[in-house]
């Protein structure tokens, strides 16, 4: 069994980090090392996100969600500005994940990773109960 939270950790969070990293470097002109420091990750991780070695599996799915991408834009802007406290940034990241769940994006990935879920009508992925 693979719970929905595992799908989030393996696919959604890395894809969100990829999108945020890309915006910090491309949109805000941040050096990779500065983006890494602001995100609390290594410069090597930034390189891996930008080359889709990390986070690429769910990127297209997230890019299809206007709400998720709005939250990514907002979060990237706040990180680049450096004025928001860490707890606020984490809350915004959690909101982006919650939107991905509510829009069924987690369910889609969950069903792909566990084909036995295809015939299940109700999905705990989008109910925010796990």
Domain membership of residue 32 (yes or no) is yes
Q: How many CB atoms lie within 10 A of CB 66?
A: 10
Asked if residue 125 belongs to a domain, the reply is no
Half-sphere exposure of 124 (CA within 13 A, CB side): 10
- 10 within a domain of the structure (yes/no): yes
pLDDT digit string, tens, across residues 60-87: 889 999 999 999 999 999 999 999 999 9
Q: What span, in angstroms and rounded, lies between the C-alpha atoms of 16 and 45?
A: 13
For residue range 37-58, what is the model confidence (pLDDT) as tens digits?
A: 999 999 999 999 999 998 887 8
DSSP structure string for 80-108: HHT-S-HHHHHHHHHHHHHHHHHTTHHHH
Mean pLDDT within 83-98: 94
Establish if 63 belongs to a structural domain: yes
| Assigned domain for 123 exists | no
Q: What is the pLDDT of residue 123?
A: 60
Residue 86 placed within a domain? yes
Count up the domains in the chain and report the number. Answer: 1
pTM for this prediction: 0.86
Residue 89 forms part of a structural domain? yes
Half-sphere exposure of 106 (CA within 13 A, CB side): 27
Instruction: Quote the pLDDT of residue 125.
Output: 58
Query: 35 is in which domain, residue-wise?
Result: 4-118
The pLDDT score that the predictor gives to residue 40 is 93
CA within 13 Å, CB half, 107: 17
């Amino acid at each position: 069994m693979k719970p929905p939270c595992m799908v989030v950790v393996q696919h959604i969070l890395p894809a969100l980090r990829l999108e945020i990293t890309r915006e910090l470097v491309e949109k805000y002109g941040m050096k990779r090392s500065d983006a890494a420091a602001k995100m609390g990750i290594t410069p090597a991780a930034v390189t891996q996100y930008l080359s889709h070695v990390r986070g690429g599996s769910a990127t297209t799915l997230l890019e299809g969600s206007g709400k998720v991408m709005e939250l990514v834009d907002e979060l990237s802007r706040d990180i680049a500005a450096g004025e928001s406290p860490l707890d606020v940034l984490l809350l915004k990241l959690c909101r982006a994940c919650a939107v991905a769940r509510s829009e069924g994006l987690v369910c889609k990935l969950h069903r792909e990773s566990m084909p036995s879920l295809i015939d299940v009508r109700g999905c705990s992925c989008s109910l925010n109960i796990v």
